[in-house]
Structure 1
Amino acid sequence: MSVNSFNAKPAFLDRDQSILAFNERVLDWARRPEVPLLERLRYLAIVSSNLDEFFEVRFAPHLSAKLTNEQRGPITAQTFADVSAKVHELVAQQYAIYNDELMPLMEKRGIKILTHSERNARQRRWVKEYFMQEVQPLLLPIGLDPSHPFPQVANKSLNFIVRLSGRDAFGRENEVAIVKVPRALPRFARIPGVKGSKQIHFASISSIIRSHLNDLFPGRTVTEFSQFRVTRHSDLAVDEEEVKNLRTALRLGLQQRHYGQALRLEVSAGSSEFLSDFLLQQFGLPPESLYRVAGPVNLVRLNQLIDMVDAPALRFERYQPGWPTQLTPGQSFFERLKQGDVLIHQPYENFDAVLAFLREAVEDPDVLAIKQTIYRTGSKGEMADLLREAVRRGKEVTAVVELKARFDEEANINHAEQLESVGAQVVYGIVGLKTHAKMLLVTRREGGKIRRYAHVSTGNYNPGTAKLYTDVSYLTSDDALTADLEQVFLHLASQ
């Protein structure tokens, strides 16, 4: 090997292309015939969710390089073109699987999403009544003119753009209108089946609105329309050195998150160039940012349909985790840890054991203090509830809350405020760094002495994701380990 080979500049894999390649591998699971049908549909939704986050977090620098034709480190107009081409290819594969493989298989298994033309007279009457009672009262069409400018369109929301002919009630000939579809509306409705048939029929909210658009514009004619969805930059950027209160700054940032820079526009495959060009101009996007899709513009919402279908044979068999083998149900954690450490392998062993450890600490009158990190605990926050109960019982509680846990900022701000409201000590870690550690430290008085017990984990303190993700939990009363953890909490709280 030559000396030059040692001095050669290392070749790194492109991070964004690697993320997209990973999602190709996830998408491959939607193709596999050995995977249960509803789970194949769920993999399709997972890829869509991942692509949403990719645009929200990773894509803005590429688009900026394209629009300004300036290089920003390794990011250039060419990387915009390369990434866009790869995403277009991936999206095309998604909808090919959806339309050519999964929907025909769903119909064979007696599950069908009906279009307006496929509904019989009885089903159309049902959909009409559903639209009038449940949908139309929540819709407010906006006809565009100088006094009604293009509305703010929230990130990842479902909308319709409509082209009209004729005059409205005020004699105006405004040609274009926007209909925003509230997130509160269910994306699928189960509709009556055909008599004598066991088929389960659904209608999508976009199809329901599409077939009744004329009802929203009395006296006018809908000449063309398209559903559309825009994805926006959503990564919160806060200068921690400058702000006086990180929590307040993030709370303000959350209010604007839904209206960040537009990055991607999805429209129906049949959308006219007039409508798609109009939208591209409104959002300031180049043609490469337009994605024409032959189906729902948001495949993530298929999860709702999956949950509405009662067909266990079309799902993975539900796994029931067992109680950790090194623990005995009902035995005191403190007594057990005096005998030795405990390793818990999630999700095969139940995360409920970790909750039980904290619950015992909260209820034990000999426990003096509890310290815990909070990163992604979920919106319900069962562990945060236990920490608040510990404060009410007179224990010293310290919570290190990571406010910058992406897309969990609001939940963590709420947990922090609720903990502070009952008197817990809440800190936010070290400026400029994320506190990603998962640590729980319990200090207990035993026979006139102080003893510590701890839990550390590779996974979040989240009962929901603990049923899905593979992680290792470790319970210990080792003096050296617990003393280390005490020092870590001291540094996090004091820096």
Structure 2
Amino acid sequence: MTAASNMPVPETPLDAPVLFINRELSLLEFNDRVLEQARDTDVPLLERLKFLCISSTNLDEFFEVRVAGLKQKAELVNAPTDADNRAPSDALRVIGARAHELVEKQYATLNDELIPALESQGIRFLRRSEWNAEQRAWLAEYFEEELLPVISPLGLDPAHPFPRILNKSLNFIVSLDGTDGFGRKIEHAVVQAPRALPRVIQLPAQESGSGTHDFVFLSSIIHEHVGDLFPSMGTSGCYQFRVTRNSDLFVDEEEVDDLLRAVEGELPSRRYGDCVRLEVAHNCPQELSDYLLARFILGREDLYQVNGPVNVNRLMSLLDTVDRPDLKYSAYTPRLPAELGPNADLFAEIRAHDVLLHHPFDSFLPVIDFVRRAAADTRVLAIKQTLYRTGPESAVVDALVDAARAGKEVTVVVELRARFDEADNIALANRLQAAGAHVVYGVVGYKTHAKMTLIVRRETDGLHNYVHLGTGNYHPKTARLYTDYGLFSCDPDLGNDVHEMFLQLTSLGKVSGLARILDAPFRLHPAIIDKIAREAGHAERGRPARIVAKMNSLVEPQVIQALYAASQAGVEIDLIVRGVCCLRPGVPDVSETIRVRSVVGRFLEHTRVFRFDNDGEPELYLASADWMDRNFFRRVETCFPVTRPALYDRVSRELDLYLADNSQAWLLGSDGSYQRARPAEGEAVLAAQKRLMEGPGQA
């Protein structure tokens, strides 16, 4: 009898709601881990401020998308749709309480930790009571010259109804006394801050030489001079507020003839979607808060009173404004592998053997160079590429434009619905079409999330397919901020698979069968289930069995149930899940052999790696897909094997580094909470990202 067969059979079925962590709560816990980076005194001070801003931006998107979606569900049906079986209204209540806690923690971090620490370094945010005469004079002039000409205060009466408030814009509700120039009594007014002006203004250095890094919030300037906007009337109160709106686009793809025009037409509506959250100054009287809530059709549970600027994420501008390298991460130059250097024969190297890059530790330049050289190479006949997020100014797109103008067959699959990048993608699609490239927008009903490039090159022995497959986007900027793998290969089977996938995306025909790639929405989900079950079978037969998987999110219920079943069989399972994880590790008789950790550090963890030990015949895959419903069933994704032994060993060593991280890792408990990993007594501190900056797969 094997050890696995001695395990007690649990009474709870593996699809029981109690075994699943709520997705939204898990996402808020991730945001809390990001916020903890802002509180970590081992992180450089300005980088701590950056993490605070990131947590604020993350929370904005959480409300714009996740909370907005739950509100819609609650209004329509209010029936549970997730594995934890929570009704949307119940979920909104629970996540609302947690979100309020998180917001309070954000502002406590700003006011009690970061602002004092910045001030100790000569970087000050001056309140109005702290302005000296010289500063007051300069700010008064700034108001007269920069603000007054573009600001439009609006007194509220039947002829001046409450204005449409732009999503996440800075506004002020003003209490007025007396009568206006026409003798009318007006109680309230709204002042909308000009969108073109910065929210944080740097004061000029004073004659004494001090105050080089003195800053004032735009809201403070408006507060100081709000009376000037209402001559002959008194102002008894001025309070900033911001409203967050539903920002998901709705495009009925079955009913539109031109997806680009449809998405382009929907973009303006994002600014004025249904309201989901109201932020107001902490000292705003309740009657004014209630007045605003009524205007935005929100309840008191949607009100967030904040002690500080309502748009914390605008503080990110300080990282570019303040020239203090000593308060930032030290500069890091990614490695450029010798085999892919500027003088290397790139195609010869790739044809000789597969080449792996791990960004940002390895430079992204070879990926750009891959397309650039193809554009200039007379032997290259065709270039095909998917673009999900690439940025408004992209060297990759420049190379594709050059290739199209040179007469090569260039086909680009542009995903117009990459959330919050729609406008940039529309612009680059138009630019590519103008250059003569064939541009398509994927498949109706499915986002094209795969990251792949195919280059067809004529050589002395015939045509060869050169491919690049990645876990991340073709975006040079994020390639310096996100961890991602990219694989170059001239393997015939892999090249033919990529060719088949592009044919499917452009001709909409059925793929005849892929040799190496596990593709979504077709083979990936059943393949992952089968590979997990195979490990369970090895364990049941008393053989060593282990799964190590790294991803951004783990949500899909069937995969989670398969992992539970594998754990019951005795499979050792290590999961590295950066963000949302709905699986509960360490539950007796269900997931006792499953360990889950999240790594949050200088770089955003974005790699997807799946390793199955398979009784001594291990398999290792890299993927563009997380283990989520949307990736398995509603997106075009790639999951591709790493077969070259040296590359397999490298990725495995790097996985082991993340599993050994005792500095930037957080361990998930069965109750859904995370505890930061700490070195045991006598154990050396190990941070996986720092170690990888020293060299690939360093042990």
In which range does the TM-score fall when normalised by the shorter chain?
Answer: over 0.9
In 2, Cα distance between the equivalents of 1:296 and 1:7?
A: 46
Partner amino acid, structure 2, of 1:80: L
1:436 aligns with 2:443: no
Deviation at 1:336, TM superposition (A): 2.0
Q: 1:346 to 1:129 in 2, by over 3 A?
A: same
- Unaligned runs of 5+ residues in structure 1 are none
Q: Which residue of 1 aligns with 2:110?
A: 98
Where does 1:311-390 land on structure 2 (aligned, <5 Å)?
Answer: 311-390=324-403
In 2, Cα distance between the equivalents of 1:279 and 1:143?
A: 15
Deviation at 1:98, TM superposition (A): 0.8
Aligned residues: 495
SS where residue 256 of structure 2 aligns? Answer: coil
Deviation at 1:72, TM superposition (A): 5.3
Where does 1:116-155 land on structure 2 (aligned, <5 Å)?
Answer: 116-155=128-167
Post-superposition Cα deviations, 1:158-207, rounded to whole Å, max 9, x if no partner, equal 11111111222222222211111122101111114455464421111111
Contact map agreement 2:440 2:506 (CA 8 A) in 1: yes
* Stretch deviating more after TM superposition (397-406 or 192-201): 192-201
Contact map agreement 2:78 2:89 (CA 8 A) in 1: yes
2:35 paired residue among 24, 27, 37: 27
In 1, Cα distance between the equivalents of 2:297 and 2:305?
A: 17
In 2, Cα distance between the equivalents of 1:283 and 1:52?
A: 17
1:16 paired residue among 5, 21, 24: 24
Contact map agreement 2:279 2:303 (CA 8 A) in 1: yes
In 1, Cα distance between the equivalents of 2:69 and 2:156?
A: 31
Deviation at 1:67, TM superposition (A): 6.4
Q: 1:7 to 1:380 in 2, by over 3 A?
A: closer
In 1, Cα distance between the equivalents of 2:294 and 2:155?
A: 17
Partner amino acid, structure 1, of 2:328: R
In 2, Cα distance between the equivalents of 1:61 and 1:469?
A: 27
In 2, Cα distance between the equivalents of 1:165 and 1:9?
A: 60
Q: 1:135 to 1:334 in 2, by over 3 A?
A: same
1:158 paired residue among 170, 179, 183: 170
In 2, Cα distance between the equivalents of 1:268 and 1:95?
A: 12
In 1, Cα distance between the equivalents of 2:300 and 2:372?
A: 56
Q: Which residue of 2 aligns with 1:461?
A: 474
Q: Which residue of 1 aligns with 2:656?
A: none
In 1, Cα distance between the equivalents of 2:15 and 2:207?
A: 73
Deviation at 1:332, TM superposition (A): 2.5
Deviation at 1:330, TM superposition (A): 1.8
Partner amino acid, structure 2, of 1:47: S
SS where residue 386 of structure 2 aligns? Answer: strand
Q: 1:314 to 1:284 in 2, by over 3 A?
A: same
Q: Which residue of 2 aligns with 1:419?
A: 432
* Stretch deviating more after TM superposition (326-335 or 29-38): 326-335
Partner amino acid, structure 1, of 2:198: P
Q: 1:322 to 1:292 in 2, by over 3 A?
A: same
In 1, Cα distance between the equivalents of 2:210 and 2:329?
A: 23
Partner amino acid, structure 2, of 1:9: A
1:445 paired residue among 458, 464, 476: 458
SS where residue 455 of structure 2 aligns? Answer: strand
- Unaligned runs of 5+ residues in structure 2 are 1-7, 509-699
Contact map agreement 1:65 1:72 (CA 8 A) in 2: no
Q: Which residue of 2 aligns with 1:176?
A: 188
In 1, Cα distance between the equivalents of 2:106 and 2:339?
A: 44
In 2, Cα distance between the equivalents of 1:72 and 1:339?
A: 53
Deviation at 1:239, TM superposition (A): 2.0
SS where residue 339 of structure 2 aligns? Answer: coil
In 2, Cα distance between the equivalents of 1:298 and 1:454?
A: 43
Contact map agreement 1:229 1:267 (CA 8 A) in 2: yes
* Stretch deviating more after TM superposition (205-214 or 448-457): 448-457
- Percent identity, please: 48
Deviation at 1:65, TM superposition (A): 6.2
In 2, Cα distance between the equivalents of 1:71 and 1:446?
A: 59
Contact map agreement 1:226 1:275 (CA 8 A) in 2: no
Question: What TM-score, normalized by structure 1, do the two folds share?
Answer: 0.96
In 1, Cα distance between the equivalents of 2:488 and 2:278?
A: 48
Q: Which residue of 2 aligns with 1:107?
A: 119
Deviation at 1:219, TM superposition (A): 1.4
Post-superposition Cα deviations, 1:32-54, rounded to whole Å, max 9, x if no partner, equal 11111111111111100000000
Deviation at 1:306, TM superposition (A): 2.8
Partner amino acid, structure 2, of 1:233: N
Partner amino acid, structure 1, of 2:22: D
In 1, Cα distance between the equivalents of 2:460 and 2:257?
A: 44
SS where residue 457 of structure 2 aligns? Answer: strand
Where does 1:202-217 land on structure 2 (aligned, <5 Å)?
Answer: 202-217=215-230
Q: Which residue of 2 aligns with 1:59?
A: 67
Contact map agreement 1:65 1:80 (CA 8 A) in 2: no
Q: Which residue of 2 aligns with 1:236?
A: 249
Q: Which residue of 2 aligns with 1:267?
A: 280
Contact map agreement 1:69 1:77 (CA 8 A) in 2: no
In 1, Cα distance between the equivalents of 2:360 and 2:169?
A: 33
Post-superposition Cα deviations, 1:280-332, rounded to whole Å, max 9, x if no partner, equal 01000000111110001011001012321111111111211121243232222
Contact map agreement 2:339 2:349 (CA 8 A) in 1: no
Deviation at 1:402, TM superposition (A): 1.0
SS where residue 147 of structure 1 aligns? Answer: coil
Deviation at 1:268, TM superposition (A): 0.6
In 1, Cα distance between the equivalents of 2:306 and 2:264?
A: 35
In 1, Cα distance between the equivalents of 2:254 and 2:74?
A: 31
Contact map agreement 2:63 2:246 (CA 8 A) in 1: yes
1:39 aligns with 2:61: no
* Stretch deviating more after TM superposition (359-368 or 6-15): 6-15
Deviation at 1:118, TM superposition (A): 0.4
SS where residue 253 of structure 2 aligns? Answer: coil
Deviation at 1:483, TM superposition (A): 1.1
Question: What TM-score, normalized by structure 2, do the two folds share?
Answer: 0.69
SS where residue 340 of structure 2 aligns? Answer: coil
Post-superposition Cα deviations, 1:402-460, rounded to whole Å, max 9, x if no partner, equal 11111111111111122112221111112211111111111112237222211111110
Post-superposition Cα deviations, 1:458-492, rounded to whole Å, max 9, x if no partner, equal 11000000001111111111211111110110011
Partner amino acid, structure 2, of 1:206: S
Deviation at 1:273, TM superposition (A): 1.5
SS where residue 81 of structure 1 aligns? Answer: helix
